[in-house]
Amino acid sequence: MKTVLVVDDDASFRQLISKWLGSAGWRVLEAGDGTEGIQLAIELQPDAVICSLLMPGCNGFQICRAIRERAGVIEQPKIIVTTGSVYATDRRNAIEAGADEYLVKPFKAEDLIRILDLGQGRRPVAAAAPRPPPKHYTSLPTNQPPQLKFWGVRGSIPTPGPNTVWYGGNTSCVEVRADGEIIILDAGSGIRALGQSLAQEFNDQPINLTLLITHTHWDHIQGFPFFIPAYSPHNKVRIFGYEGARKGLHSTLTSQMESPYFPVSMRHMPGNIAVTELREREFQIGNVKVATAFVNHPGVCVGYRLFTSAGSIAYLPDNEPFQRLRSHSGGQPTSDYIEALKYASEQDQKIIEFIKDAEVLIIDAQYDDVEYQSHVGWGHGCVDDVVALALFAKVKQLFLFHHDPDHDDAQVSRMLDWARELVALHGETLAVEAAREGLEYVLNPAAKS
C-alpha cells in the first residue's frame, strides 16, 4: 500500500483528503504543521507529500526545500503543493523549491488522485527553452546630433511630492542617444518612465540598448525591475558595470529581484539581458568610446565618459572630492597630514584629467557648502567643489546632479544660483544647470572633446 503524507494546518482539509485518498487505496498520514510534516517525511519516507503553501511556523516552500535537500535519499517522494494562490510567481517558486505539482484549491478528488497515480518519484523538470535571439534591431539614425535626456536626478531615494515637482523626485537615470546607440546611465527609479517612453516610441520594433551602472547602491539600480523593454523577448539589453565590494554585478542585480523583494526574478524577464562585469577601463559601444574612472564613494563606484562624434559626456553621479574630505579630518599641520592632503590633491587631479574639456559634466552636487560640513565622509560632493572641478577641467556645460532627497525645488534653485554666481566671480563662461526630469540637451556637432 502506498503512503501519502498530508501537511496542512486546516484539520477539515486534512480529513477531506484522507477520506478521498483512503477510499482510493492510499495509506494517509497527517501533519498539522510544517515542522511536524518535515519530520514525518524524513522518518516515514512516504511515497507522496501533499503540503499547503501557507502555514504558520514552516511554509510549503520550506517543506519542499527541506525534503529535496535531504542527503542520502534515493527515492524522493512526489510533492504536491496545494494552495489558494493563483499567482504564477508562487507556482514557479514552489516548483523551484522542489514541488512536482501545484494544485490550486478548491480542486476535485479525481484531479488529486490522477496526479498521484501519474507514477512515483520526481518527474524531470523540463529545461527552459532557449530564447531565439532577435534578428533585426531598430537602428537609430546616425546623422542626428548626440543628445541626452534626464529621467531621474535625485540621490538616495525617490522623493515624489509637491515640493519636488520642478526638478523631479526620481533617482538617477540619464538617456544618451549618440551615433546610433541608446546608452542609459544608471537604472534608478527614473528608468521606469524611460522604459515606458521607449516602448511607446519603438512600438513592436526590437530595441538594442546598453545600460551602464556606476555602482549598485539602490538609487542606481532600483528602477530596473520596472523597465518595460527588459520584458520584451525582441529586445536586447546589455548591462555593464564593475564588480562590487562584496558581490558581483550580476549577483547584486538578481538579488534585488529575488522572491522576497519582487515577484519576477531577473532570469524570468523575457528580454535578452546580458550582464557583463567590466575589466577594462575603456571599451566601445558601437562608435561611442567609453572611458571609466573610479571615484571617491563608499564601495566600488565609477564615473563614465562617453566620447561621441560631437563631444563627450562625463557622468559622475556620486563622488566626494578627496581634498575637501581630507582637509576636514581635523588634522594638525604635521607631515602625515600634509602627505594626506598631497595624496588627496593628486586624486582630485586624476578626476580633473578624467573630465578635462568635456562638453557636458553631470556630477554629484548633493550639498551646499554649509550642509557639507555635517556630511563629510558621506560620499557626496558640494556645489562649490563641483564648480571648481568643472572650471579646472574647462568643461563647457555643467549639470548639478544627485539632488539631496531633503532639498525642495526652491533649495535646488538656490544652489543653482550660487553655482552660477561662483562662475561669474571667477569671470568664467561655464554654463550651469541643475538637472531636472525631462530636461534635454543636444550636443553641438561643431564641438569635439
CA-CA-CA-CA dihedral for 329, 333, 336, 340, to nearest 10: 50
| Shorter beta-carbon distance to Zn ion: residue 14 or 215 | 215
Using CB under 5 A as the binding rule, whether residue 217 contacts Zn ion is answered as yes
Label residue 374 exposed, middle or buried (CB < 10 Å: 0-12, 13-18, 19+). exposed
| Shorter beta-carbon distance to Zn ion: residue 146 or 158 | 158
DSSP string, 341-377: HHHHHHHHHHHHHHHTT-SEEEEE--B-HHHHHT-TT
Tell me the C-alpha distance between 216 and 248, whole Å.
Answer: 10
CB of 186 to Zn ion, least distance (A): 8
C-alpha cell at 255: 538579488
| Shorter beta-carbon distance to Zn ion: residue 319 or 449 | 319
| Shorter beta-carbon distance to Zn ion: residue 21 or 239 | 239
CB of 215 to Zn ion, least distance (A): 6
DSSP 126: P
Q: Binding to Zn ion (CB under 5 A): which residues in 255-284?
A: none
| Shorter beta-carbon distance to Zn ion: residue 26 or 150 | 150
Handedness of CA 400, 404, 407, 411 (dihedral sign): negative
Nearest residue to Zn ion by CB is: 217
C-alpha cell at 199: 516602448
Tell me the C-alpha distance between 168 and 421, whole Å.
Answer: 24
Using CB under 5 A as the binding rule, whether residue 320 contacts Zn ion is answered as no
Using CB under 5 A as the binding rule, whether residue 384 contacts Zn ion is answered as no
CA R_g for the chain: 28
Going by their DSSP bridges, the two strands 288-294 and 302-308 should be labelled as antiparallel
What mask, x for binding Zn ion by CB under 5 A, covers residues 388 to 427? Answer: ----------------------------------------
| Shorter beta-carbon distance to Zn ion: residue 246 or 342 | 246
CB of 312 to Zn ion, least distance (A): 22
CB of 49 to Zn ion, least distance (A): 46
CB of 99 to Zn ion, least distance (A): 39
CB of 173 to Zn ion, least distance (A): 11
Kind and range of the H or E element at 316?
strand 311-316
| Shorter beta-carbon distance to Zn ion: residue 318 or 371 | 318
Tell me the C-alpha distance between 144 and 207, whole Å.
Answer: 18
CB of 220 to Zn ion, least distance (A): 6
CB of 63 to Zn ion, least distance (A): 39
Residue 356 has, within 13 A of its CA and on its CB side, a CA count of: 7
**Binding segment (CB under 5 A) for Zn ion, from list 136-144, 150-158, 192-200, 367-375:** 150-158
**Binding segment (CB under 5 A) for Zn ion, from list 55-63, 118-126, 215-223, 342-350:** 215-223
For residues 214 and 317, is the Cβ–Cβ distance under 8 A? yes
For residues 30 and 6, is the Cβ–Cβ distance under 8 A? yes
Using CB under 5 A as the binding rule, whether residue 219 contacts Zn ion is answered as yes
Q: Is 37 helix (H, G, I), strand (E, B) or coil?
A: helix
Using CB under 5 A as the binding rule, whether residue 241 contacts Zn ion is answered as no
Of residues 321, 202, 211, 193, the one with CA closest to residue 276: 211
Number of residues that bind Zn ion (CB under 5 A): 4
CB of 299 to Zn ion, least distance (A): 7
Q: Binding to Zn ion (CB under 5 A): which residues in 154-173?
A: 155
Identified binder of Zn ion from the candidate list 175, 318, 348, 404, rule CB under 5 A: 318
Chain residues that interact with Zn ion, rule: CB under 5 A: 155, 217, 219, 318
